[in-house]
Amino acid sequence: MYFDSFQALLTMNGHGIYVWPAYLITIVVITAVLVAPLRRRNRLLEQLAAELRRTESATGSGVRGEQ
């Protein structure tokens, strides 16, 4: 490791206040772009599943019965 102590790693000779926020914001943005499609997909599937359950209970048949 290049830095001698945790303190040195945090401050980076005065550049820590630039480097750490840059990395932090990057990590937040990356997490957001990874999670957004997952959440969208899950929400859609939940909606569709709820619709399926409704039609199934109404007609007594559905995709699930076919499998």
Partner 1 sequence: MWTFFHKLGSPPWLYAIAGAILRWLVPVTLVALVGGMVWGLLFTAPDFRQGNSYRIIYIHVPAAVVALAGYYVMAIAGAISLIWRMKMADVVMKAAAPVGAALTFIALLTGAIWGKPTWGTWWVWDARITSMLILLFLYLGVVALYEAFDNKEAAGKACAVLSLVGMVNIPIIYKSVDWWYSLHQPASIKFSGESTIDPSMLYPLLLMIAAFYALFTCCLLMNMRAELLQRESRTQWVKKIAGKESRR
Radius of gyration of the chain, Cα coordinates, nearest whole angstrom: 25
Lay out the site mask for partner 1 across 32-61 (x = CB under 8 A, - = otherwise).
Answer: xxx-xxx-xx--xxx-xxxxxx--------
Binding status of residue 7 toward partner 1 by CB under 8 A: no
Residue 45 beta carbon to partner 1: minimum distance, rounded to whole angstroms: 4
Cα 50 to Cα 35: distance, rounded to the nearest angstrom: 22
HEC sequence for 38-62: HHHHHHHHHHHHHHHHHHHHHHCCC
Which residues bind to partner 1, rule: CB under 8 A? 1-3, 9, 12-16, 18-19, 21-23, 25-26, 29-30, 32-34, 36-38, 40-41, 44-46, 48-53, 62-64, 67
